[in-house]
Amino acid sequence: MAVIISYNVNGVRAALKKGFIEWINACKPDILCLQETKALKEQVDTDQFEEAGYHHYWHSAEKKGYSGVAILCKEEPDHVEYGCKIGDNDREGRVLRVDFGDTSIISVYMPSGSSGDLRQAFKMEWLADFEAYIKELRRERPKLIISGDYNICHKPIDIHNPISNKNSSGFLPEERDWIDGFMKTGMVDSFRHFNQDPHHYSWWTYRQQARERNLGWRIDYNLVSQPLAGSMKAARILSEAKHSDHCPVYLEIDY
């Protein structure tokens, strides 16, 4: 049995100042997928992770203080793959994969389109490229867990006000169509597999006391490919963790 947690930390150095390592030591996940690390490995006091018993792997953006993903593992993986080898996508440090036997776990930080039309167009192109990459990868490695910040709410239940946000990046029809189609290729939304209740979110704006009022968006997922779906034991959103504007999402699986 393994516990996999995905967490957009919105800057790993900032999170460490807010008790992040103490939280890791309390939770003790087997695998911790991080997004938006905003740091090069050399800029982080990684001794703390090693002292907690983790191997750690980093894929940072070329632009300093931007994007970036990492994976912490209790066990050393058989293989680590940095990036997805598609065009210029890897410059932003958004995809990192670790393999354990015939199972692969990916930490992914999908682009946001909220800054304007150019980034929204980049986001849609990136999503198409990523889906093509995963389609090819699944031919070789069908047992796949894709954990991370997708920057998309799937359904109206996943956002606090679907009507007023219908034209907001992250809830646009074309984005929702993409994630719906991606799931229909055989990727199971682990949280919704266990929980169909409303008002469960993983991100809140810092404005207007949104977190205190639970005015959030569910944009962080652990998606599990069909060959592994029967091995899922539990999935939760750990909203009590407050090192970021996101909170961690939890998956317990026997792989």
Query: Which residues have a catalytic role annotated?
Result: 149
Helical H segments across 93-218, by residue range = 117-140, 173-184, 190-194
Which pairs from 111-118 meet CB under 8 Å and 24+ separation?
111/151, 112/151, 112/169, 112/170, 113/151, 113/169, 113/170, 113/172, 113/175, 114/168, 114/169, 114/170
Q: Which two three-digit tokens encode residue 154? A: 């799937």
Contact 55/77 with Cβ under 8 angstroms? yes
